[in-house]
Amino acid sequence: MKLVPDVLLLALLLGASAVTQLRAQNADQGASASQSPASPKAQTTSDQQYSGMYTFLKEGEFVQITVEDGARVTGFISRYGDGESDKGAFLDQFFKTGKLEGNVLSFSTEIVHGVSFDFNGSIERGEGKKPGDEAYYLLKGTLTEKSTDVNKKVTAHQRDVVFKMFPQDAQ
């Protein structure tokens, strides 16, 4: 019986990745149509190298990162809810802000059910041997989880994290 939820989760992951890849392809096509190859804003392959799906805190959770124009980062976190009203529900938290400078990455998510996340760190090479391998890139840094209670009191919890890039064929 565990096979059915695993298959559904895999289908969800593949669907989310396909939508993100289509958006990135459409953005690339629009950018290349409006910019000459000599333009400094012309997108290069290296701009997209960090784009992809990375693990998150628990099994089945993930972070989707899309690098646009070399520095702008969009994406979302898909995670299981921990609150009383959303315990076990799958939640998507889209990035409110995101930036990449060299390999230094930062992003903040929208608040969903009183919880938001801030990440400050870097993208580094992992143990994957070639592009497309699992953990070819890693997100390493500090994740801050902010929770707001019913009395509007905000608590923040920081932790050092390492998130591995999913293998390309799993996306």
Q: What is the CATH number of the domain that holds 75?
A: 2.40.128.30
User: 3-class secondary structure for the chain?
Assistant: CCHHHHHHHHHHHHHHHHHHHHHHHHHHHHHHHHCCCCCCCCCCHHHHCCCEEEECCCCCCEEEEEEECCCEEEEEEEEEECCCCCECCEEEEEEEEEEEECCEEEEEECCECCEEEEEEEEEEECCCCCCCCCCCEEEEEEEEEEEECCCCCEEEEEEEEEEEECCHHHC
Task: Check residue 115 and give its pLDDT.
Answer: 94
Cβ proximity of 133 and 166 under 8 Å: no
Mean pLDDT of 127-154: 94
Per the structure, the count of domains in the chain is: 1
Q: Please give the structure tokens belonging to residue 77.
A: 């976190």
Residue span of the structural domain in which 162 resides? 3-35+42-170
CA dihedral in degrees (71, 75, 81, 82; nearest 10)? -10
Place 75 in a pLDDT band, splitting at 50, 70 and 90: very high
Mean pLDDT computed over 93-112: 96
pLDDT, average across residues 110-118: 95
Contact 163, 59 (CB under 8 A): no
Q: Write down the mean pLDDT value for the chain.
A: 79
Q: 165 burial class (0-12, 13-18, 19+ CB within 10 angstroms)?
A: buried
Instruction: Indicate the pairing of strand 104-109 with strand 115-125.
Output: antiparallel
pLDDT score, position 170: 52
Mean pLDDT, residues 67-76 taken together: 92
